A and B are shown apart, each in its own frame.
Chain A
Amino acid sequence: MTRPFLSRAIGAFVLVSLAACRPSGNGPAGPGTEPPETCAPTTEAPAPEPLHWRRHAAFVTDVHAALALDATTGCRELDRTPCGDVHLVALGGNDVFGAGQYEPVARPLATTPLVVDRFVLGACSNRVTLDAEATPVVFGMLDLAASTVSRDDARATASELFRRLLRRDATNEELAEIAELAEETNARDFAVAACFAIGTTSEAVLY
């Protein structure tokens, strides 16, 4: 029987945790035989299901929804083509009509981290520009023309970004960490950096 690597890894982990179940000197055991007496039910908490890749459709939609963007206002290559379309395969989608790729790649490619960075940075930069030029949608706590950012404004911005990009409330530690990005930085750069830092966490890419 061939099984995916992941299943083997899970199997190996559970094998270790069930090591006490191996009958000692009583011969092999299985459902066709009585379970060995030494096989006590495990009391440890079960291992969690491994993390999954938030693939193309959900990743692109999530970033766009979080920053109130769409394919025309989000990240675009050469200002012509949506980054999500250009980097479809590296983001975990399958290019069925363009490349005859009928199934997506099983796991992230070597270029996936670069593309994630590219996509989020492009989206964050565009959102900051749009907010600076009109009524702000995401960065309303900041004066994007200011050369400095107060600690409170930085924390408020971080809190908003956590809710938008990771769909949860930030911890105090996380707020403090993001607020540090505001030191010696103008408001616009801070906005992009905070958005990028939160939007490219493993939590944003995996689930």
Chain B
Amino acid sequence: MPSPPKPARRFARLVATPLALAFVPSLAFARPVAPSVLCDTWPEAADCRGRVVGCETCHTSTWPAAWNDFGFAVGMAFPGGIEDDADFAAGLPTALAAVARRDSDGDGVDDYDELLVGTSPGDEDDVWLWCAPTEREALDAPVRRGFDFRAALNRASILYCGRSATYEELAALDAQPTDAARHQTLHAAVDECLASTWWRDEGLPRLADPRIRPISSVGASSTVGIVIGDYDWDYRLWSYVLTQDRDARELLRADYHVDRAADGSLVRVEGTIPTSATRGPQPLEPERRAGMITTQWFFAINTMFSPLPRTTAAQAYRAYLGMDVSKEEGIVTVPGEPLDVDDKGVRDAQCAGCHATLDPLSYAFAYYEGIQGASLPSLGNSGRFNPARPEREIPGWTDPQAFLFGEPVESVVEWADVAVESDAFARNLANLFFRHALEREPTVPERTAFDALVTSLAEDGFSANRLIHRVVDLDAFGGLTP
């Protein structure tokens, strides 16, 4: 359906907005249930395949609530009044169906089509005019014609070896007689880089920095004598899991630790780690462990002294599932939440939208100590599991049900089990290495190839190495625009 001219739409909106607010007063709220209902209605939408639609799909602001063109069109298409979330959830599919073939933002593409390809139906500047895909020319290698093997070898060497390809390496590539041989040479070089000490000890740790968030002044080598945890354990586990074709889900499932052998290699160690004069311990029992999100450092730096460790859960959600609650990503409202167990006022309307997701994410983490001692060798009880902690910190604690993605979980270990089996985990892992390689998000025409990366993880045993090999074969890695 052709869009009305822009001035007319603007005028219509100008007139209709106060009318809508006057006659449908409950529209003046953001509805945290909307993303999940949208995905139930249109699961094929790009943002529903592995992550949850963000509030910005409809809103320009959630408090006070304000809408973009799409959100406004959806609101006006509701079949009846909206008294509460239940009315809203019941009416939203009908409203979405009503606007599917509209072009709310006037950018030339239907709202439904924009959601399919992953552009915003409420932002006229975010658009991709679609054409039928063209046939790919077949080569004797699994890359597109025009793929620049020299550029790819150089890029791979820089990214995974920490240096450019040498003159001799490039000359050897040029000497290969066929694209298939060049492709084989390229991937042999990638294998060599991924087995290098640079990738293990420098390349991979730099990808972990925003996830581990070390603070050297309170780390094991603190020069001021205040140690709250030893994040070297975290870095070693990260690098161990993401090398040698290991299962990347171990990031959140490992019940072991990783130490460094005399030759510099990383070796798995079992059980708890006693303290020493030069490094911090890992006191948590293996059955309570869930990889990166249960190290002593993770609890010390995220939980600190919080009665309900929302920051800890939010960092786990952000770092390993790719969704930042503070940016209103990954909102999956749990009915009846937030309970406001620690009396922080999070039931207020401007807080509840996020805390109905965040608080149930956090409950399971409340049983782990944050900072409980701050000096080597013991570090006190930091990071230990303590069933009595919630009641000690929050008198009257009722052991509320924890949830992840709307699914009840009984512990952090179960939280992690649900997390690693989710599309969000796979998508976040693929996104990590895609962004590392190309320093940007996938574009709309790359979405199919990116989806293939995500789905390939299962068949590749969640090997980061195999994932990287697939990234190297992407058109963009060889200098092509898809």
Binding site for B on A (CB under 8 A): 1-4, 6-8, 10-11, 14-15, 18, 21-23, 25, 27-33, 35, 39, 41-42, 45-49, 52, 54, 57-58, 61-62, 65, 94, 96-98, 100, 102-103, 106, 163-164, 167-168, 207
Inter-chain pairs besides A23-B108, A65-B163, 5 sampled, C-beta below 8 Å: A6-B440, A22-B129, A46-B482, A58-B162, A96-B209
Q: Are A47 and B120 touching (Cβ within 8 A)?
A: no
Binding site for A on B (CB under 8 A): 1-3, 47, 56, 103, 108-110, 112-114, 116-120, 123, 125-132, 134, 146, 151, 154-155, 158, 162-167, 170, 198, 202-203, 206, 209-210, 213-216, 219, 438-441, 443-445, 475-477, 479-482
Nearest 4 pairs between A and B by C-beta? A30-B113, A35-B132, A102-B210, A41-B134
Q: Are B481 and A29 touching (Cβ within 8 A)?
A: no
Which of B118, B120, B170, B206 has the most CB atoms of chain A within a 10 A radius of its CB?
B206
Nearest to A103 among chain B residues (CB) is: B210
What is the CB-to-nearest-CB distance from A25 to chain B, in angstroms, rounded to a whole number?
Answer: 8
Nearest to B165 among chain A residues (CB) is: A167
Q: How far is it, in angstroms, between the C-alpha of A96 and the C-alpha of B205 when the chains are bound?
A: 10
Residue in A1, A35, A65, A102 whose CB lies within 8 Å of B118: A1
Q: Are B216 and A97 touching (Cβ within 8 A)?
A: yes
Q: How far is it, in angstroms, between the C-alpha of A10 and the C-alpha of B167 when the chains are bound?
A: 31
Q: How far is it, in angstroms, between the C-alpha of A58 and the C-alpha of B162 when the chains are bound?
A: 5
Q: Are B481 and A10 touching (Cβ within 8 A)?
A: yes
Residues A167 and B166 in contact in the complex (CB < 8 Å), given A2-B56, A21-B131, A97-B214 = yes
What is the CB-to-nearest-CB distance from B88 to chain A, in angstroms, rounded to a whole number?
Answer: 23
Q: Are B481 and A1 touching (Cβ within 8 A)?
A: no
Chain A positions within 8 Å of B130 at CB level: 21, 29-31, 35
Q: How far is it, in angstroms, between the C-alpha of A3 and the C-alpha of B296 when the chains are bound?
A: 35
What is the CB-to-nearest-CB distance from B347 to chain A, in angstroms, rounded to a whole number?
Answer: 29
Q: Are A28 and B3 touching (Cβ within 8 A)?
A: yes
Chain A positions within 8 Å of B109 at CB level: 28-30
Nearest to B166 among chain A residues (CB) is: A167
Residue in A46, A52, A61, A65 whose CB lies within 8 Å of B481: A46
Residue in A11, A47, A54, A168 whose CB lies within 8 Å of B167: A168
Q: How far is it, in angstroms, between the C-alpha of A111 and the C-alpha of B170 when the chains are bound?
A: 32
Q: Are A1 and B120 touching (Cβ within 8 A)?
A: yes
Q: How far is it, in angstroms, between the C-alpha of A21 and the C-alpha of B170 when the chains are bound?
A: 39
Q: Are B164 and A39 touching (Cβ within 8 A)?
A: no
In the complex, 18 of the A-B residue pairs with CB atoms within 8 angstroms, ordered by the A residue number, are A7-B440, A10-B481, A11-B443, A14-B445, A30-B114, A32-B112, A33-B113, A35-B132, A39-B132, A42-B134, A57-B198, A58-B164, A62-B163, A62-B164, A65-B166, A94-B206, A207-B151, A207-B158
Q: How far is it, in angstroms, between the C-alpha of A57 and the C-alpha of B216 when the chains are bound?
A: 21
Residues A102 and B213 in contact in the complex (CB < 8 Å), given A1-B126, A11-B443 = yes
Chain A positions within 8 Å of B127 at CB level: 15
Q: Are B117 and A168 touching (Cβ within 8 A)?
A: no
Which of A1, A33, A35, A96 has the most CB atoms of chain B within a 10 A radius of its CB?
A1
Q: How far is it, in angstroms, between the C-alpha of A149 and the C-alpha of B321 when the chains are bound?
A: 61
Q: Are A32 and B113 touching (Cβ within 8 A)?
A: yes
